[in-house]
Amino acid sequence: MTVDTPHDPADRLAGVVALRRLADRVEDAEVELALREGWTWSQVAEALGVTRQAVHKKHARRLAQAGTSERGD
Amino acid sequence: MFERFDADARRVVVRAAYEEAQALGSASLEGEHLLLALAADPSTGAGGLLVDSGLDHDGLVAALERETERSLAAVGIALSDYEPAARPAAGRRKASFATSSKRALARAVGVASARGDRVVSTAHLLVGILRGEIGTVPRALEAVGVDRVTLMIAAERLL
């Protein structure tokens, strides 16, 4: 993809911020989908390169309240 | 922690802004969530000013989306490139104050202290948010053609 790279650091640094937020949103969606498809927390954690505790802490409460069924591991 | 805040300002920082962050699926409570919470209640001085300036709640959400699009474009990403396989469920997650909102709150308290105001109102909050020259809020205002400094001066007149 070719874009005109802006020369203003403010634009590019804001791009970094927006990318982080987009990555968080993608993670929320993809973790939820993986669990719905039967992946365990351990598998999701391994795929993301983090500990099971880390991924569980970040997503479990939100997904439990959203009604996503949880599977043990 | 917010003893000096009046009832409206306290409601914004302890409840309304959290709800804005949650509604947008954000794990952190940013300066823009404080601004959204202010805009959501036009009965307050700050909320009324925002709405009168063309920044009602929906207008602000649109401004923030425009800012995200522009910022992603600056690093070569078109937001439309990504189609999430699933929309994240709008589950509740306790957002925590991020640096951007802490800075805005510190500026609001600083404005009140400098003026000798014992109580921090929504107007102080708005001035504190608008005094930030760099970051998502000023960029979102610019994206929809709202002059931050003009708005800030109008907010200062509410004090």
Most A CBs within 10 Å, among B70, B75, B81, B148, to test the A interface: B75
Q: Are the beta carbons of B93 and A21 separated by less than 8 Å?
A: no
Q: What is the pLDDT of residue A1?
A: 47
Question: Mind listing the pLDDT tens digit of every residue in chain A (73 residues)?
Answer: 445 566 789 999 999 999 999 999 889 999 999 999 999 999 999 999 999 999 999 999 888 877 765 555 5
B5: which strand partners?
Answer: B120
Residue A52 lies in a domain: yes
Of all residues in chain A, the one with the smallest CA distance to B64 is A18
Q: Residue B85: is its pLDDT beyond 90?
A: no
Domains and their CATH numbers in chain B: 7-75+95-157 (1.10.1780.10)
ipTM of the complex in this document: 0.85
**Which of chain A's residues have a Cβ under 8 Å away from the Cβ of B88?**
25, 28-29, 32
Which residue range is the domain that position A36 belongs to? Answer: 22-66
- Asked if residue A8 is part of any domain, the answer here is no
Would A36 be classed as within a structural domain?
Answer: yes
* Domain tally, chain A: 1
Residues of A with a Cβ under 8 Å from any B Cβ are: 1, 3, 5-6, 10-12, 14-19, 21-22, 24-26, 28-30, 32-33, 36, 58, 61-68
pTM for this one?
0.89
Q: Is residue A3 part of a domain?
A: no
Angstrom distance (rounded) from CA B54 to CA B59: 7
CA distance A67 to B14: 26
| CA dist., res. A38 & res. A8, Å (int) | 45
Residue B132: C-alpha distances to residues A16, A33, B76 (Å): 19, 38, 26
